């Protein structure tokens, strides 16, 4: 039975593939070809029919794409191995604190409370529940929605027969906050309006104590502020090092492994870095690679004179087409010869997007603040969807407070009104607001979303349900929506009267369509794992790539990863990969992904090391040997081929080129492994079956093992 997955965070498979200018060094290309030929110990040749189709430049020299064809034509199938890197931690346990209730509804869920056990930050854990139809008719579940983006439920796509029981997955991926209990709720919607609820509980382990978790930055008019101090103390007797910070505004007291560290924040560098609201401290602790500190701004000691903003005109929503969206394509979509009558993907446009007109959301009781039931003319409303039990919401709370302070006071007093919206039980929300920490922090309006009606009005039509998430609306027009982390810039432009929702409309529409498409491919992938009808999924990838051309490469690369991975179509998969490599010969991100998927995807049984090496060399050349990610992948290609010396050399170059502290830390860890481990290919990992999760597992991979090496989704909606 097909399983559908509720899309949570748009961070999994969506790739942004920038179009890289053509690499002009023909001499370097030919040198690469000669080196590759020598490495393979055999001449490079093509059939005459193939040569006739190779493009040439004005000097009658082969183009970069043709050279890549030559390199790939020599590729042979490589190595067979096994992996130790699971894509998620899956358990078959259904231990509950409460057993299944009597059948008062057509569908019951067992257990009614699912205990996910002890969690490690940023590690996905999967358990299963049983859904039973107690009625005399088939019952269809239309959706399953969690109240927090850390929890991802699936549900059967097909109706459940009378008396039948099906299983559904619940995935929980705890955020970086440690030592906290998690209490989530999943709502299953039954066709006809019936609702069934599942409670999900867990405990996030404590490995490093962080003090303080929130800092107050000095006022901007303080010329030479003293550094801020942060203390990190090991809570599990594991010594660790401080690798760095992101942004690079903090330094540790020493570089040695220890149980306690002091990190000092340079406030001058913080100002130069545009006053970020979040500081990430990178460590080498095996279970806590990153700790986050929230930074709150301080108001100036003297309030400056500010010219009131010009009231902007009301922006009417623009029309959008009924078939394809007018989004800019970075590279033309590739059309494979084998696309014959593919499974058709139907575009269904979202109804909520920047520029769309919406009604005031149907809110229940206001447990705090003044009740609102309609938009006041000219007023900017900010609706924040959150949950009192959401760890991500707790992490973002100081930032939300800072934005409330900044944009609902002073000159903006009449322009911005914040309303937090939660589907939690009203009595629990009132108790939560009475707690001293929340009473001090939450000063704005809070409303109850009875029956998730507001969510259905604003969140569901974007094809993504995320907490926390802002929706900014003026005069019924959606101006922007997204995670609080990304709100500062659009908020500032909205306050200044310079924001135009049309400037981001195409991107947001595109992201919504991709989210919906990925839901469908994930559901069908689960089905194909059971029935082996992979052609349906491959045809769906093709159809989506044609329907959403700006993201076509995303789904083509997913198709490649599926073919050489779980579909076990080795010969056809690498043939398709060669076609993709030629088509995207000038796209460094696509080349990197092709190479990385071949070398590092845990589900790949047969790794064509020569294919991957040729692609990795092409990506490194295309980047002028200045691209950190290309160098890192080429290092992996060398290591997989048994060449430790060149692997170390390339990894050191990647570390030098990489300016992101988090990524650099992973590169350094990998370099240490290259120095001591036996150089060989990454082992194959069979599909994870239900069972106990290894304690030292690390977060990695996705349903097909295709690494998303670039930021995913819209930066404006990274919740």
Q: For 596-609, write each residue's pLDDT tens digit.
A: 999 999 999 999 99
Q: Give the pLDDT score at 343.
A: 61
Rounded to whole angstroms, the Cα distance separating 588 from 710 reads 11
Rounded to whole angstroms, the Cα distance separating 288 from 282 reads 9
Q: What is the pTM of this model?
A: 0.60
> Of residues 108 and 300, which shows the higher confidence score?
108
Contacts with 132 (C-beta within 8 Å, 6 or more apart), sequence order: 100, 103, 107, 108, 110, 160, 163, 164, 165
Helices (H) and strands (E) in the chain, counts: 18, 26
Rounded to whole angstroms, the Cα distance separating 331 from 329 reads 6
Write the secondary structure of 350-373 as one string of H (helix), E (strand) and C (coil): CCCCCCCECCCCCCCCEEECCCCC
Rounded to whole angstroms, the Cα distance separating 395 from 441 reads 13
Split at pLDDT 50, 70, 90, the class of 272 is confident
Q: Give the pLDDT score at 60.
A: 43
Residue 595 has pLDDT above 50, yes or no: yes
Residue 525 has pLDDT above 80, yes or no: yes
∠ CA 282-288-293, nearest 5°, is 55
By C-alpha distance, which of 526, 538, 593, 639 is closest to 155? 526
Q: Provide, rounded to the nearest whole percent, the portion of the chain with pLDDT above 90.
A: 45
∠ CA 248-250-256, nearest 5°, is 105
Residue 582 has pLDDT above 60, yes or no: yes
According to DSSP, the β-strands at 79-80 and 113-119 are unpaired
Q: Provide, rounded to the nearest whole percent, the portion of the chain with pLDDT above 70.
A: 74
Q: Give the pLDDT score at 688.
A: 60
Q: Give the pLDDT score at 668.
A: 92
Q: Mean of the per-residue pLDDT values for the chain?
A: 77
Mean pLDDT, residues 184-199 taken together: 85
By C-alpha distance, which of 76, 33, 36 is closest to 54? 33
Mean pLDDT, residues 85-92 taken together: 39
Q: Give the pLDDT score at 352.
A: 96
Q: How does pLDDT run across 381-408, given as a tens digit for each residue?
A: 999 999 998 888 888 888 898 899 889 8
Calculate the CA 154 to chain-centre distance: 18
β-bridge mates for residue 30, sequence order = none
Split at pLDDT 50, 70, 90, the class of 31 is very low
Q: How does pLDDT run across 457-472, given as a tens digit for each residue?
A: 999 999 988 889 999 9
Q: Give the DSSP letter string of 126-180.
A: EEEEEEEE-SSS-B-EEEEEESSTTEEEEEESSPBPTT-EEEEEEEEE--S--S-
Residue 334 has pLDDT above 80, yes or no: no
Q: Report the range of poorest mean pLDDT among 519-528, 588-597, 633-642.
A: 519-528
Q: Give the pLDDT score at 389.
A: 87
Split at pLDDT 50, 70, 90, the class of 689 is low
Q: Give the DSSP letter string of 203-217.
A: EE---EEEE-SEEEP
Q: How does pLDDT run across 409-458, given as a tens digit for each residue?
A: 654 445 799 999 999 999 999 999 999 888 888 989 999 999 999 999 99
């Amino acid at each position: 039975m097909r399983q559908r997955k509720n899309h949570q965070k748009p961070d999994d498979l969506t790739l942004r593939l920038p179009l890289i200018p053509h690499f002009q060094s023909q001499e370097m290309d030919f040198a690469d070809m000669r080196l590759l030929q020598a490495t393979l110990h055999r001449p490079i040749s093509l059939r005459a029919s193939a040569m006739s189709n190779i493009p040439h430049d004005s000097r009658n020299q082969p183009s970069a794409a043709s050279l890549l064809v030559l390199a790939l034509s020599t590729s042979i199938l490589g190595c067979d191995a096994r992996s130790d890197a699971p894509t998620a931690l899956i358990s078959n346990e259904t231990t509950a604190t409460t057993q299944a209730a009597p059948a008062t509804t057509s569908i019951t869920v067992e257990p009614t409370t699912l205990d996910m056990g002890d969690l490690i930050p940023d590690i996905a854990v999967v358990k299963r529940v049983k859904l039973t139809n107690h009625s005399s008719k088939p019952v269809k579940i239309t959706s399953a929605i969690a109240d927090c983006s850390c929890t991802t439920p699936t549900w059967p796509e097909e109706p459940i027969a009378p008396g039948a029981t099906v299983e559904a997955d619940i995935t929980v991926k705890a955020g970086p906050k440690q030592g906290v209990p998690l209490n989530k709720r999943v709502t299953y919607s039954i066709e006809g309006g019936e609702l069934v609820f599942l409670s999900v509980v867990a405990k996030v382990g404590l490995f490093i104590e962080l003090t303080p978790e929130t800092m107050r930055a000095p006022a901007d008019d303080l010329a030479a502020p003293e550094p801020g101090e942060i203390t990190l103390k090991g809570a599990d007797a594991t010594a660790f090092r401080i690798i760095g910070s992101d942004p690079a505004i903090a330094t540790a007291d020493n570089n040695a492994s220890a149980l306690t560290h002091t990190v000092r924040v340079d406030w001058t560098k913080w100002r130069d870095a545009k006053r970020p609201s979040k500081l990430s401290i990178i460590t080498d602790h095996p279970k806590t690679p990153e700790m986050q500190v929230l930074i709150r701004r301080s108001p100036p000691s003297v309030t400056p004179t500010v010219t009131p903003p010009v009231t902007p005109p009301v922006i009417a929503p623009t029309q959008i087409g009924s078939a394809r969206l007018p989004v800019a394509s970075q590279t033309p979509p590739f059309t494979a010869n084998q696309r014959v009558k593919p499974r058709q993907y139907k575009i269904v446009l979202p109804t909520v997007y920047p520029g769309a007109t919406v009604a005031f959301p149907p809110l229940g009781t206001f447990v705090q603040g003044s009740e609102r039931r309609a938009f006041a003319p000219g007023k900017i409303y900010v609706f924040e969807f959150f949950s009192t039990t959401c760890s991500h919401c707790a992490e973002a709370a100081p930032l939300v407070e800072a934005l409330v302070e900044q944009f609902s006071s002073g000159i903006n007093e009449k322009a911005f009104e914040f309303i937090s919206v939660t589907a939690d039980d009203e009595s629990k929300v009132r108790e939560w607001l009475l707690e001293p920490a929340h009473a001090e922090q939450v000063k704005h309006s809070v409303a109850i979303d009875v029956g998730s009606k507001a969510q259905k009005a604003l969140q569901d039509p974007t094809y993504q349900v995320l907490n926390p998430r802002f929706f900014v609306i003026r005069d019924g027009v959606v101006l922007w929506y997204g995670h609080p982390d990304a709100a500062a810039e659009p908020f500032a432009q909205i306050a200044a009267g310079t924001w135009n929702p049309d400037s981001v409309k195409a991107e947001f529409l595109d992201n919504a369509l991709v989210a919906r498409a990925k839901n469908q491919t994930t559901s069908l992938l689960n089905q194909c794992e059971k029935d082996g009808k992979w052609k349906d999924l491959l045809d769906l990838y093709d159809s989506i790539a044609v329907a959403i051309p700006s993201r076509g490469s995303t789904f083509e690369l997913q198709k490649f990863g599926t073919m050489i991975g779980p579909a076990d179509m080795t010969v056809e998969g690498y043939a398709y990969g060669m076609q993709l490599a030629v088509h995207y010969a000038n796209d460094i991100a696509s080349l990197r992904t092709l190479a990385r998927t071949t070398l590092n995807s845990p589900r790949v049984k047969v790794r064509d090391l020569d294919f991957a090496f040729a692609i990795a060399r092409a990506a490194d050349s295309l980047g002028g040997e200045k691209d950190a990610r290309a160098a890192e992948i080429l290092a992996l290609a060398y290591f997989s081929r048994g060449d430790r010396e060149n692997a170390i050399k390339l990894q050191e170059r990647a570390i030098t080129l990489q300016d992101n502290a988090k990524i650099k830390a992973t590169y350094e860890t990998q370099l240490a492994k290259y120095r001591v481990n036996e150089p060989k290919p990454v082992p194959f990992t069979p599909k994870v079956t239900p069972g106990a999760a290894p304690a030292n597992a690390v977060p990695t991979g996705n349903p097909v093992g295709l690494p998303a090496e670039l930021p995913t989704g819209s930066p404006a909606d990274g919740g």
